[in-house]
Amino acid sequence: MEPTRCIFCEIVAGRAPAAIVWESAEFVAFLDHQPIQPGHLLLVPREHVDYLFELEAPRYRDLWDCAQKLAIPLKKPRGPIASESP
């Protein structure tokens, strides 16, 4: 029986298409393919977790720090996301 495939891991590995807008050694951010508003991003860890709250404390905090920094240009009209680390 084939294990259930995780679409986020497929995107992180480059096996599934996604409009990646930012990435680091730990996280990848890409546009949601069914956005609820313009600029709707998904930020996921490179390591698989079934549930976001399973992330260890330092990485969990880092993810939310990245989410906060990635949200800043989204508040500006058509603001680009910096290519440098947030």
User: Measured from the CB of residue 70, what is the shortest distance to Zn ion in angstroms?
Assistant: 20
Tell me whether residue 33 or residue 48 sits nearer to Zn ion (CB atom): 48
β-strand pairing of 27-31 with 20-23? antiparallel
Query: What's at 36, amino acid-wise?
Result: I
Sketch the per residue contact string, 19 through 48, with Zn ion: x for CB under 5 A, - otherwise.
-----------------------------x
6 lies in the binding site for Zn ion (CB under 5 A)? yes
User: Measured from the CB of residue 41, what is the shortest distance to Zn ion in angstroms?
Assistant: 17
Q: Which residue reads 């880092």 in tokens?
A: 62
- CA 74/CA 86 separation, integer angstroms: 13
Binding site for Zn ion (CB under 5 A): 6, 8-9, 48
